[in-house]
Amino acid sequence: MRFRRSLAISSRDLWRYFSKNFALGLCYAAFVRPAKAWGFVRAGQAAFLCCAYDVVTDWRDFSVEYRRIFQEQLAEFVPEWACERAMELYWSDLKRKVGRDGLDRGIITVELITGVLGSKSYFSKFGVQRLGLLLQVVDDILDIEKDIEDGGLNFLKGGDAGRYLEFFMLNKQSLMDLFEKDIFMKLAINRAYVKADVVRSRLNL
């Protein structure tokens, strides 16, 4: 609510805004290791910042005004290294030069979340880059229709879609095992897994 006005969230978009924050918060709670109350608060802040990123890039079309607002929000909540990393992603996103057909967004996001929450060492056993790629694949599968409609980045629109889908299929169970106690993350992974077969058939991959 505090930043609703500065981000110019209209009454019409209010439910979309809060539901996105809520969904991200539930998923990011899975990165709090070990489980601590302060960690869940930080996960909520990280979810808000990721939602704000989507607002200033997708909803506000990379407006300079909203970019400045986002930078101020970053500076308030996260350390300087995280601000710099987030803005690297912003500029790459703006130029449509995010690596691996946009999947590098997931790597940067997981680096930021685990770094800010202090759980990077825990997830390094699985592989932060591997985790970031897999979770971005999940997100892209679930959002493919919206991304096609809006012209957004999505690996399924690129030439390596089949390879990354296969990568997800092969790693799905290890991803589920990693988040075995996190029901919302497991739900998203399972939904993507079921949908992946439909998408693969539709796109002839």
Q: Tell me, what's the pLDDT at 149?
A: 87
User: Positive or negative CA dihedral for 149, 151, 155, 157?
Assistant: positive
The pLDDT tens digits of the residues spanning 131-149 come to 999 999 999 999 999 888 8
pLDDT of 174 above 90: yes
Token pair belonging to 69: 């607002």
Q: Tell me, what's the pLDDT at 182?
A: 93
Task: Say if 104 falls within a structural domain.
Answer: yes
Phi-psi region of 204 (alpha: psi -120 to 50; beta: other; left: phi over 0): left
Task: Return the number of other C-beta atoms located less than 10 Å from residue 41's C-beta.
Answer: 11
Provide mean pLDDT across the span 87-108: 94
Cα(25)–Cα(124) distance, rounded to whole angstroms? 21
pLDDT of 118 above 80: yes
169 near 196, Cβ under 8 Å? yes
Task: Say if 98 falls within a structural domain.
Answer: yes
The pLDDT tens digits of the residues spanning 39-92 come to 899 999 999 999 999 999 999 999 999 999 999 999 999 999 999 999 999 999
Percent of the chain surpassing pLDDT 70:
100
Cα(125)–Cα(2) distance, rounded to whole angstroms? 37
pLDDT of 167 above 80: yes
Q: Tell me, what's the pLDDT at 94?
A: 94
Q: Tell me, what's the pLDDT at 4?
A: 85
Task: Say if 6 falls within a structural domain.
Answer: no
Task: Say if 1 falls within a structural domain.
Answer: no
Domain count, the chain: 1
Token pair belonging to 25: 């918060």
Task: Say if 131 falls within a structural domain.
Answer: yes
The mean predicted confidence, pLDDT, of the chain is 93
- Angle, in degrees to the nearest 10, between helices 104-117 and 37-54: 150
Cα(190)–Cα(175) distance, rounded to whole angstroms? 10
Cα(169)–Cα(129) distance, rounded to whole angstroms? 17
Task: Say if 135 falls within a structural domain.
Answer: yes
Task: Say if 93 falls within a structural domain.
Answer: yes
| Domain span at 91 | 14-202
Q: How confident is the model at residue 38 (pLDDT cuts 50, 70, 90)?
A: confident
Task: Say if 112 falls within a structural domain.
Answer: yes
